[in-house]
A and B are shown apart, each in its own frame.
Chain A
Amino acid sequence: MHKDGKLEKARQLVKGIHELPTIPEIATKVLDLFDKPDVELEELAETILVDQVMASRVIKIVNSPFFKPLHEIKSLKRALIYLGFRQIRHIALTCSIIDAFEGKNGVFDIKTFWEHSFGVGVVAKIIAQRIRYPEIEKSYIVGIVHDIGEVFLSYYLKDGFQKVVDEIKGTSGNFVDTELKLLGTTHCEIGFCLARNWNFPAEYCDVIANHHSPSSASHDPALAAIVNLADLFCSVRHLDYGGREWVSFNLAEEPAWEILKSFSPAFADLDVERFCYELDERVPEIEDLVNSLFEGMIKR
């Protein structure tokens, strides 16, 4: 199907949902703060304190096993200092998105979704560091949010999405092709519409739309390629949604690999094997991180 057709279909589907999930203002603010490198800790603390639920979650998360402070941290400001400015932004953003979809039953396990999302975020960040991509932080965040279209499908188009999941189960089929076949659009276009709706910056929307076709990205194909490759590396580390019988890829045949080699010629000499073993090392850490987030999310 033509690209515009897929997008139009996604627009209709998203438009057809009367109560679209809303993302707290804080998440949009957190994203906005990216372009302000001189933002102060005070400013961030004030932003978060406006949202009491968020503030208590941050404190709970900082005291979780993943971050393991020596003594219990009781104040938001100390939590912010301990976690660091960057970490707190990721937590705030993630909590907002988890919140946006809370209280509904989705087709797939939301925790698996976040393991995949954080997995892609972490690996995207590692790749960005390797190729000296100037905005490492951005790679991490866009890695985390790249699949929001899947969450939307899982929660709001349950029947259709259940069919997609059933069709893939036990085969080596992938989500993009199956969604296109059964729904007439994919999680990429859906995610794009949702991200636009939430006023995400344009370059984020572009990556969300093109993370399976990095060459088509109009803003920054390198960023889309980083996320695409991170997605592939996660898919063979059980950091995916499961269900598929088999998944594999030949690095030399991936357009993202070519894009990144032309972005950074030294990347062609990457020790792929060592890179893979080092990624294997990080998997438990990603699982711990997601567990911590979920522990912090449980309502008292």
Chain B
Amino acid sequence: MNKLKSREELTALRDVCQKAFAAEKKKILVCGGTGCVAGGSLDIFARLKQLLEDKNIPVDVELADEPHGDAVGMKKSGCHGFCEMGPLVRIEPQGWLYTKVKLDDCEEIIEKTIVGGEMIERLVYKQNGEVFPKQDEIPFYKKQTRVVLESCGHINASSIREYIALGGYSALEKCLFDITSEDILNEVTKSNLRGRGGGGFAAGKKWASCAAQKETPKYVVCNGDEGDPGAFMDRSIMEGDPHRLLEGMMIAGIAVGSSEGYIYVRAEYPLAVERLRTAIAQAEELGILGDNILGTDKSFHIHINRGAGAFVCGEGSALTASIEGKRGMPRVKPPRTVEHGLFEKPTNLNNVETYANVPMIITKGADWFRGIGPENSPGTKAFALTGTIQNTGLIEVPMGTTLREVIFDIGGGMRGGTKFKAVQIGGPSGGCLTEKDLDVPLDFDSLKSVGAMIGSGGLVVMDDKTCMVEVARFFMNFTQNESCGKCVPCREGTKRMLEILERITAGKGEDGDIELLEELADTISNTALCGLGKTAASPVVSTIKNFRSEYEAHIYDKRCPAGACSKLKRFVIDPEKCKGCSKCARNCPVNAISGQVRSPFKIDQDKCIKCGACVSNCAFGAVSEEA
């Protein structure tokens, strides 16, 4: 394909793409996100395509130059978000969503739905006996506002032509030809877009301060090192709508005066890397990315760096060090990244979702953006909803939506009818919120006031079978592993905290442990070098605050109220049920069970290692865990 050399040529291409897009009346969108791919969606895509071809029905994978009205569009889309129900297949123009599709369903989908125009009831979503054929009507989607994820699941994720057909790169066009970089900065500042990566720093302020730096060259860096366990919003954007991210970065480049961009992607996201590489190649081929964009004097190049598995690289200065080929260790700030970032040069660093918001702000205006969500945290936020909840998946809601709406309306409540206990928000840097916090609006400032943070947006819901001390231990174990070792408070402090938590969950907690944890937490958060260390103790602090009695039960009663800590389990033999067969005693690896044959046996709790061998070996169900 020829490079586009002017605005007019882009407009002409958009025209062609739009016509072709509109001509594709019937469309099958198979989810190609990591989740559905794991469920076999690629095989489903291949089978559906094959079946169409066998029937001599023309198939369009890419938008054609010359639309032919009767072709069926077959698209591998980005993540639809409803990962729990995957693999997902969306049917257009009806807007039906088929869930949990299997290879065996393909024939029926082509026969009945594509040829016959009939809905297959077996495959559509049902909740409480009600049938929801249309995607938009499913409660999970109905309450969402999809802005950043607007096209995720609705377009072919590897097609620049579809992105252009839906108005893609028109924001870039506006920035190149209609407005100045000053205007861009003003618009982003006015929109009050706050960084989606965690801290919520105003993007406009950061951009302006990078633009004001005299030193050159400058760099635009995108943080796609989404390391928080339980978060996958950025992955879904990179996989499902990669051009939106590229466009956002290019606009940032024009605004701050940079022509080099770097995207740092987690090593665990191979599909995201692949889709980004394809997107970059496509944009370069069209002359939208590279030297002399659309015939102007502006240039922009984007490089991809794959992470190598270090959580701390999500921190700005560690991330830039990692791109430079060094160990990813944070450094003392100031100077800040905007002054001394990548290669010691001024650098604008934002995360994926932040950049992905930019094109819409430019095309629709700051006022439109401010119309969504509360005054001080406008816009929407994508969350990864996971844990022991009915509907796991990727969601996007206006900032200020309450946790209750997210968990019970969108998430469909608890899985298997268990009781809601807590929700962990903000990953290892965030905190646990409980029943009483359910009506707290999800925005930067409200969450801070209750001791949590939005973080990158992972929401892990936990039920009453989850032990909060164990959760605190889990996060501390994570942070301890990921501590880079540069500063003492984080390196040594997290280790000591982990040791204490391990002791408590093993039933060896002592009086004073809670106070010691609190003291360590206070010291670490006040003295650690970077954000990872400063927030390392947050999960411990917030679980102590909300679940102190659980800590006390572990320490003083040697009991785990949730029954989750295996070392605190007590196995007992019911003398009524025990037939005295001695099988449990023979299978006990530590000879903790004794007794006379044909009379009830007993377990010596001091010797027992809680392996559970007796439970699985008893033919009479006489051995059980003490409640």
The answer to whether A binds B is no
Binding site for B on A (CB under 8 A): none
Binding site for A on B (CB under 8 A): none
